Amino acid sequence: MALGGSLALAALVVPTAAAAPGEGTCFNLGVAGKYGEFIEGDDTHSPDAEGAVAVGGNADFSHGGFTVGNELTAAEVAALPGGNALVVGGNLIQNGAHVQVMKGKGVVAGQVIGGGQLEGVTKGPSPIDFAAEFAKLRTLSTELAKTAGAAPTVDGNRLTFTGGDARANFFTVSADTLQKAAEIYLKVPAGSSTVITVTGGGYDQTKAPTSGFLIWDNAKKAYVLDDKLQSADGGAERARLLWNFPTATRIVKHSGNAWPGSILAPNAAFDLGKGGPVNGSVWAKSLTGSGGAETHHYPFSGCLPGTTVPPTSPSPTPSTGTGGSPGPSPSGSATTPGGGTGSPAPSGSGSPAPSGPAGVSPAPSASHGGGSGGSGGSGGGGGLAFTGAEGLVPLSIGGALVLAAGGGIVWAARRRKAGASS
């Protein structure tokens, strides 16, 4: 009976712990995925960011002022920690400039320096543990880089990434090769997710200089220059494009282009330049930018198929972020890998095998494609995040039912034996 109960309980555990290869999961970037600028250290920026902004160190908005969050939806604001579209873990340097949170609230853990018009911002502890969140982002970046992605085609100063998998396409390119390209092309099926890992210690778009990014429009059967007002397939590919810089310590954007997709550079000082936006989110160690070098609100909604990784319980004690301000540890901030290699492995078509990045909470998804650019807002690819409570409660109930059933069988057997003896 004990053995039978154990086997029945194991049968309940297996489907919960791993999704079938055809189903896959979407990995949730957690708190970081809710912000268009998520910076571990200092952020020196003007004039605006369309999405939410979180800064672990000091935020210097003194050079022309700063507005935050104008393109956020009500649902996206509600999903932010404490509804804060602006979080500053250190000081907010204003020096007479106008700083305004357009939607949601703002909180500064340090001091407001220099004074000026400040709207929607109050003083208080940071609701984000930046050290914990960046530990997760670095783990994700490292694990994604383990996938031996396909190489791009080089044709003079033109670089083309071509993938045929309908769900997810992985590429790997050196920073030296990428920064020699004047034009960068991407051609993947409509709605598929794309991860481009860039190797090397630094990347500088001004070397060529890179003038534009063009994405294949599957409906028009032509490449489209990505910009604020246009993108291939209504932004479907841009919304699922992730640039991964696991080892870069410095990234420089050329002002002459709009850079489509989200950029994961957890160890890099990111220089946006003085013109041309990033049409996606930026997760970096530090950030500088001015003029037209904005971050536009197109949250990453890509889906990376893989194995479900149950998170551990968050630490009950507050921790201190990079900015030196104490703040509560967010739910699910500590996540450990569960079995497998923890890294998606490529196949001949560029589709990953069902094994996902370690250290990142996944969210189940019913679909790997579809949707328009900028949809969602969790940054993790849709679906509800798998949490410890949600995963363990059904399992606990199932286990209890199995044990209760086993106990009932044992009791019935003993009753029959007692009746036969009498």
pLDDT digits (tens, 9 = 90+) for 55-89: 999 999 999 999 999 999 999 999 999 999 999 99
The pLDDT score that the predictor gives to residue 25 is 59
Q: What is the CA radius of gyration of the chain?
A: 24
Confidence bin at 272 (pLDDT 50/70/90): very high
Within a domain: 334: no
Read off the tokens for 153.
């085609």
Name the average pLDDT for the chain: 75
* CA–CA distance, 13 with 385 (Å, rounded to integer): 18
Average pLDDT of the segment spanning 91-117: 97
At 209, give phi and psi (nearest 5°): -85, 155
Within a domain: 406: no
Half-sphere CA count of 62, side-chain side, radius 13 A: 13
Q: Of residues 145 and 385, which shows the higher confidence score?
A: 145
Structural domains in the chain (count): 1
The pLDDT score that the predictor gives to residue 229 is 87
pLDDT tens, position by position, 172-189: 999 999 999 999 999 999
Its sign, for the CA torsion 58, 242, 276, 78, is negative
Range of the domain at 256: 26-305
Answer yes or no: is pLDDT of 218 > 50. Answer: yes
Q: Which residue has the tokens 């020699």?
A: 180
Within a domain: 312: no
Within a domain: 347: no
Average pLDDT of the segment spanning 192-221: 96
Reported pTM: 0.71
Average pLDDT of the segment spanning 30-37: 96
Contact between 262 and 300 (Cβ < 8 Å): yes
Answer yes or no: is pLDDT of 295 > 60. Answer: yes
Within a domain: 117: yes
Within a domain: 146: yes
* CA–CA distance, 237 with 185 (Å, rounded to integer): 12
Within a domain: 128: yes
Within a domain: 316: no
The pLDDT score that the predictor gives to residue 184 is 98
The pLDDT score that the predictor gives to residue 390 is 28
- Terminal Cα-to-Cα distance of the chain (whole angstroms): 25
Answer yes or no: is pLDDT of 27 > 60. Answer: yes
The pLDDT score that the predictor gives to residue 374 is 36
* CA–CA distance, 5 with 10 (Å, rounded to integer): 9
Answer yes or no: is pLDDT of 415 > 80. Answer: no
Counting residues of the chain whose pLDDT is more than 90, the rounded percentage is 62
Question: Where does 146-283 have alpha helices with state H?
Answer: 175-178
Question: Where does 112-249 have alpha helices with state H?
Answer: 130-145, 175-178
Q: Of residues 123 and 394, which shows the higher confidence score?
A: 123
The pLDDT score that the predictor gives to residue 255 is 92
Lowest mean pLDDT among 112-126, 204-218, 315-329, 356-370: 315-329
